[in-house]
Structure 1
Amino acid sequence: MTERTASLVDLPIDILVLIFPHLDARSFLSLCRTCKSFQQPSIRLDPAYWRYATQTTFRVPNQPVVQQDGERWQKMYRKMLTQSRVFTWGSSSMNRLGHSYNSPWEDRLTPRQRWLHHRSSCTFPTEMDNTQGLGIIADMQCGGWSTTLLTSKGTLFTVGVLDGLLLHHSVDDGLQALHFPPGYPRSTTEYDEPSIAIRQFSSGRSHILGLSDSGRIWSWYDVQEPALHVKFMHVDIKEPPSREPATNQSLYGRVKKVVAGWSLSSAYVYGTGIVLWSPVQRQPNDAESDTMLVTDTVEVPKTAYQRIKGASRKSDEDQALGNEVGVVFNYIILEHFIVFVTDIGKAFFGRFGEANKVDEVLELRALHNECRTQSDVQGSFRSFAIFKNGEVITTHQDYLERCWEARHTNPDQSGIEGLKRIPALQQNDVISIAFGDYHFLALHSTGKITSYGKELQGCGALGLGGDGDPEGRTRGIRYTGITHDGVLVPHAYTHGRQVWFEQEKKKWITYMTSGGRDPEEAKDRMRLFMQDANVQGEVSEWFEQEGRDWDKAPALKDADEDGLGAYFALSISAAGWHSGALVLVNKKLADRIRENSIVKDPEAQTDSTNPEAEQGESSSDQQQHQELMQGAMNTLVNHTQTHLAFTDPVAHGAIPGKGYKYIWADKSFPRLRLSDGTVMPGDVEFDEWRFGRPDWQLDIDV
């Protein structure tokens, strides 16, 4: 009998997935094309492979909620090379947004005008200046007064200042590479140096922590100062050769991640657990120190446990700790508390005492995942969110304070209020939450961002627009008090308010809030919209639905080959009064959206001196149309520099230029039948709901 030849496809999948990480993406895809067996989604879209390939190639941080989504990781890998862009919005003071400096007209301003310009706000997502020359951006994070980017080469770049309370900072500098002490290369883009190539970083309120490829911890407290290498007197840190394969047994002493908090630094060290210390700084007149030996560290109780494969029998103490607590999966540092989740679906917290000591940790019983599956925690400053089984539960550190105070009288924490389940976040594919001081963002697996909370002084941190009162109100922001604080209406929490990146939508909103085609006819319902919060909530939801899925129009399908849309957010960040997002931009699709928004105006006067003016779409017309498209975009982006009067049709969003108009130029301000039976006044036809009028939940306390 002929002996059967063994084939690679005969290997079980658990063996194949051990082989795949040794292949680069091109080789892996070539392997998948060799036979039908390797074309099955479980292999071709293996999440472990594509997550590993994306993280190792581009240094993209893990996203625990979607770590098993192989298709998402594969699309991310394909697009990161050419389409990643960085957008920021909110308060632009101290240049923290990266696009509030070096304006072409700023040189004409007086020093006081320039200072006021730096204190201005950006209410609509705007791409950071000078970032496309940095290569691939792997991660971004906002600090209290800064925004920091990590490139795929392991270099950190920052705009703004790390500590806005210091007086010696400069606000006129753009992106600056965070550098290292003398003797180290100035830029890791030109050197293969594992000790300074950053693979993971964390922005705190006023300092930044970086973890290098070799496992070294670096700390920055000033953009102008070189980093300090952090060492511990009482904690053993190992920096093994970067090529050494990591096993459970050899992880001891390695640093898994660093987290910079409000006023603390921290790291998770295998075998030790979570280690806390105060942020480090050089002494005055000390420009030569490259290392800081930290003598006062705090080890958080019950965070050191590890499940080691093939280990001999565990001690009774380890066995009990594994059953009671488990392995720390993720953690955050708040203003007064540490919160961590473990692999058995439990959440714990501890309070910082004198010298940052954590005497004990308590389980957050109401946040226990009854399925014993892995939960996640994300948060900063005073707010955080717990992810479990599709639920997103948000809360404030005041809830932790109440649980802590009741640890002896009410150990089960029964009846303690403070946990919130915002309808728009439940079972809605939310994969991460980013908190600022008073606002927060949610990133959905669809690549969309929704925004919640408030923006103090109308600073634009929600990213919903609102350069003028009417525009912001149209998105659901209600401005109150002499400080002009913007608060979202309750209606916004049923389905959320989406952050838009298309500049055309900004022009559309501006036009509609100017009264549409007939401001006189619309004035009574616009007055109702401005005065009645319930009417504002419903009308803003109508605009929300109308502004959704512009990039999903059937005519644009050929420009959206992978289905990610024109703008697909990979990650979000927020801190203080500003926000940011790392976004994949399909420029071809974005351009098509812009083109589809502009049509010829048949009522516009034609140029009689042009013999082709009445001959349809000649090549000259096409060229003129293309030039107009570019001119329209320049007008959209640089409208603050044109100084056009609002009554000018270009300024208020009716037309992009002579002879053309926007497709909404003939639309009226919406007239709706409201949920309470009220009929909005006017003479135009009633507008219908594109996706149906929601059943709002208006009793949400955020």
Structure 2
Amino acid sequence: MLSAPLLRLSLDILIEIGSYLDSEDLLHLIQTCRQFHLVFENKTVWLRLCKRIEGLAVGIPEQVDYKRLYLRWKKKGYVYTWGEKSWNRLGRLVSHTHFPHHKPIALTGSYAVKAVQIAVGGYGIFLLNEDGKLHITGKRTNSFSQVVSELGFVYSIHAGRDYCLAMSDEGNLWQVGANSTLCLTKDNVLSDYRGKFSIFRSGWDCLSVFVPQVGFLLWKSGTESEPTVYKIYIGQDVVNVSDYVLCAGFLVFTIVNESLVFRVDLDGNYEQQAKELKNFRISEGNGPWKLSGSFRTFSCLSGNGNTVYMGNESTKETDAKPIVHEFLQNQSIKRLVHGDYHHLLLKQDGSVWSWGMELSNCGCLGLGTLYNQIGDNVLIDVPGRRVTVLRPQRVSWNATCISIAAGGWQSAMMAISDKVLPDAMEPARMTGLSLTHASVPVLHFLRSRRTD
């Protein structure tokens, strides 16, 4: 039998093979024979699948049924978007009634993307699906999400204001912008560094990678010009960075195995000692820090999610004190992200909270219409133009969130829901009527008849 050699492979090799298969393949193999059933029901196989989806396996108890968790995500996992709607940035139809821009609405129907990672840029949203395809909404397409076909299989993305960086399985780093797609590691700015870096960040006004024993490489647009190399030292040693964020004019990083925070100002001093922000130190038991940042804001989240230190462009000196908001402490925060002027936090219980500024009721906070609302937590700065929510408010919805993203004036999240509002372009749940080319009045009638 052709299957005999496969059955004679050791358990660890079979489990490794299983990690490259999708859930349908695994379910079919499980039904094939008793031995495959024993192998591919193994929780290690399903845990690896869960880890492909950003945030799905984070903070989950070890005794959880990973197979059930993964299959539930496959069936009921959705991407939700909200915020600034111009250029179809949200990747879905927006109306003022059933499908507003200032509340989370799922991408379903013809717009659905089974995303494993989401990133929000200044002018659109980037969705990486389980097949390694990168979908983009917003300014580049001025339509609903489209696939960036040139990239091949992508396994990691990071978005900034103007560009998204995408790493493909061939070790190539791509720059995806509003007007172009460019491979940076083939006859371009990063050709000499292909395969030498794993951390990359797209920022407000430039893009970057970190190359061990070399330093930070930054470039403005990804054209043929050479990147600027920032070689950073601690004492006599070049830093070994574990994580970093790139903001407007500066970057913040942590080093391997230590819960220390350093800042580098991108002011033309290309060889400099790392500037430690000493008041950002955290005990090893609560570390290491998880960094997040965008534009002028950065934040440090402790490993247990109970301590949050924030900073901005003014947090420069070594003795600078962190911004400590009491409402962020001891909240069991799973993730914290930032747009230009708004912030989202995801708690361990799957709830999402937001605070910060909305401009012209763009809806980036996801709290509904904020016109004429005022109180202890909401400040109307300029009536009809700008509203600021001073403390985190819970985003109302009917799902359990696993991952969040923010950028510019948009927000997005991945979540699991038993019931989601269907897409505006596919409104009917009727089985006895088929409309091939529905007119505008008919569609309006169908939407007005909704009861959900």
TM-score norm. by structure 1 comes to 0.51
Match status 1:154 vs 2:132: yes
The 8 Å contact of residues 64 and 376 in structure 1, kept in 2 or not, is answered as: no
Q: How does 1:431-580 map to 2 (within 5 A)?
A: 431-466=334-369, 469=372, 477-488=378-389, 493=391, 496-502=392-398, 567-580=399-412
Name 1:174's counterpart in structure 2.
144
Distance 1:32 1:269, change over 3 A: farther
Q: 1:90 aligns with which of 71, 80, 83?
A: 83
Q: Distance in 2 between matches of 1:475 and 1:31?
A: 62
CA drift of 1:76 comes to 4.8
CA drift of 1:129 comes to 5.9
Match status 1:255 vs 2:197: yes
Distance 1:203 1:488, change over 3 A: same
What is the identity, as a one-letter code, of the residue corresponding to 1:296? P
Q: Distance in 2 between matches of 1:348 and 1:298?
A: 17
Q: Distance in 2 between matches of 1:123 and 1:214?
A: 39
Distance 1:130 1:586, change over 3 A: closer
Q: Deviations over 1:527-554 (max 9, x none)?
A: xxxxxxxxxxxxxxxxxxxxxxxxxxxx
CA drift of 1:81 comes to 1.7
Name 2:312's counterpart in structure 1.
397
Q: Distance in 2 between matches of 1:344 and 1:17?
A: 33
The 8 Å contact of residues 87 and 582 in structure 1, kept in 2 or not, is answered as: yes
Q: Distance in 2 between matches of 1:274 and 1:568?
A: 37
Unaligned runs of 5+ in 1: 1-15, 106-119, 163-169, 181-194, 239-252, 282-292, 304-315, 404-410, 503-566, 592-625, 628-637, 645-649, 663-702
The 8 Å contact of residues 92 and 121 in structure 1, kept in 2 or not, is answered as: no
Name 1:647's counterpart in structure 2.
none
Name 1:7's counterpart in structure 2.
none
Name 1:362's counterpart in structure 2.
275
Match status 1:333 vs 2:246: yes
Q: Deviations over 1:192-248 (max 9, x none)?
A: xxx73111111110112111012101112225x34334356687334xxxxxxxxxx
Q: 2:232 aligns with which of 301, 304, 309?
A: 301
CA drift of 1:578 comes to 1.7
The 8 Å contact of residues 94 and 160 in structure 1, kept in 2 or not, is answered as: yes
CA drift of 1:99 comes to 2.4
Name 2:438's counterpart in structure 1.
none
Q: Percent identity?
A: 21
What is the identity, as a one-letter code, of the residue corresponding to 2:192? D
SS of 2:73 mapped into structure 1:
helix
Q: 1:137 aligns with which of 115, 125, 143?
A: 115
Name 1:52's counterpart in structure 2.
48
Q: Deviations over 1:6-42 (max 9, x none)?
A: xxxxxxxxxx98985454475999889969xxx9xxx
Name 1:276's counterpart in structure 2.
218
Q: Distance in 2 between matches of 1:302 and 1:72?
A: 45
Match status 1:209 vs 2:188: no
CA drift of 1:376 comes to 1.3
Q: How does 1:77-116 map to 2 (within 5 A)?
A: 77-100=70-93
The 8 Å contact of residues 124 and 463 in structure 1, kept in 2 or not, is answered as: yes
What is the identity, as a one-letter code, of the residue corresponding to 2:417? V
CA drift of 1:380 comes to 1.1
The 8 Å contact of residues 475 and 497 in structure 1, kept in 2 or not, is answered as: no
Q: Deviations over 1:144-179 (max 9, x none)?
A: 1111111111111111115xxxxxxx73x2222224
SS of 1:301 mapped into structure 2:
strand
CA drift of 1:392 comes to 3.5
Q: How does 1:592-611 map to 2 (within 5 A)?
A: none
The 8 Å contact of residues 330 and 341 in structure 1, kept in 2 or not, is answered as: yes
What is the identity, as a one-letter code, of the residue corresponding to 2:123? W
Match status 1:351 vs 2:252: no
Name 2:416's counterpart in structure 1.
584
Q: How does 1:669-680 map to 2 (within 5 A)?
A: none
Name 1:381's counterpart in structure 2.
295
Q: Distance in 2 between matches of 1:357 and 1:452?
A: 36
The 8 Å contact of residues 142 and 203 in structure 1, kept in 2 or not, is answered as: yes
The 8 Å contact of residues 45 and 70 in structure 1, kept in 2 or not, is answered as: no
Q: 2:183 aligns with which of 208, 225, 228?
A: 228
Q: Distance in 1 between matches of 2:121 and 2:206?
A: 13
CA drift of 1:437 comes to 1.4
CA drift of 1:300 comes to 4.2
Give the structure, 1 or 2, with the largest relative contact order (CA under 8 Å, sep 6 or more): 2
What is the identity, as a one-letter code, of the residue corresponding to 2:346? L
What is the identity, as a one-letter code, of the residue corresponding to 1:584? I
Distance 1:33 1:475, change over 3 A: farther
SS of 2:401 mapped into structure 1:
strand
SS of 2:161 mapped into structure 1:
coil
> Which structure shows the higher strand fraction?
2
The 8 Å contact of residues 335 and 346 in structure 2, kept in 1 or not, is answered as: yes
SS of 2:103 mapped into structure 1:
strand
The 8 Å contact of residues 347 and 364 in structure 1, kept in 2 or not, is answered as: yes
Distance 1:419 1:445, change over 3 A: same
The 8 Å contact of residues 85 and 132 in structure 1, kept in 2 or not, is answered as: no
Q: Distance in 1 between matches of 2:74 and 2:56?
A: 19
Bigger Cα Rg: 1
CA drift of 1:133 comes to 5.0
CA drift of 1:131 comes to 5.5
Distance 1:352 1:585, change over 3 A: same
Q: 1:197 aligns with which of 153, 158, 164?
A: 153
Name 1:371's counterpart in structure 2.
284
Q: Distance in 1 between matches of 2:55 and 2:241?
A: 15
What is the identity, as a one-letter code, of the residue corresponding to 2:170? S
The 8 Å contact of residues 140 and 582 in structure 1, kept in 2 or not, is answered as: yes
The 8 Å contact of residues 451 and 463 in structure 1, kept in 2 or not, is answered as: yes
Name 2:434's counterpart in structure 1.
none
Q: Distance in 1 between matches of 2:288 and 2:137?
A: 36
More deviation in 266-275 or 367-376?
Answer: 266-275
What is the identity, as a one-letter code, of the residue corresponding to 1:259? R
SS of 2:48 mapped into structure 1:
helix
Distance 1:477 1:32, change over 3 A: farther
The 8 Å contact of residues 456 and 484 in structure 1, kept in 2 or not, is answered as: yes
Name 1:419's counterpart in structure 2.
323
SS of 1:124 mapped into structure 2:
coil
Unaligned runs of 5+ in 2: 1-10, 422-428, 431-440
The 8 Å contact of residues 343 and 355 in structure 2, kept in 1 or not, is answered as: yes
Paired positions, count: 410
Distance 1:161 1:344, change over 3 A: same
Name 2:6's counterpart in structure 1.
none
The 8 Å contact of residues 54 and 403 in structure 2, kept in 1 or not, is answered as: no
Q: Distance in 1 between matches of 2:63 and 2:228?
A: 39
The 8 Å contact of residues 434 and 574 in structure 1, kept in 2 or not, is answered as: yes
The 8 Å contact of residues 569 and 581 in structure 1, kept in 2 or not, is answered as: yes
The 8 Å contact of residues 477 and 486 in structure 1, kept in 2 or not, is answered as: yes
Q: Distance in 1 between matches of 2:90 and 2:271?
A: 35
What is the identity, as a one-letter code, of the residue corresponding to 1:421? H
Q: Distance in 2 between matches of 1:501 and 1:155?
A: 28
Q: Deviations over 1:556-599 (max 9, x none)?
A: xxxxxxxxxxx111211111212111111223xx69xxxxxxxx
Name 1:529's counterpart in structure 2.
none
SS of 1:80 mapped into structure 2:
helix
Q: Distance in 2 between matches of 1:122 and 1:234?
A: 39
Q: Distance in 2 between matches of 1:127 and 1:439?
A: 21
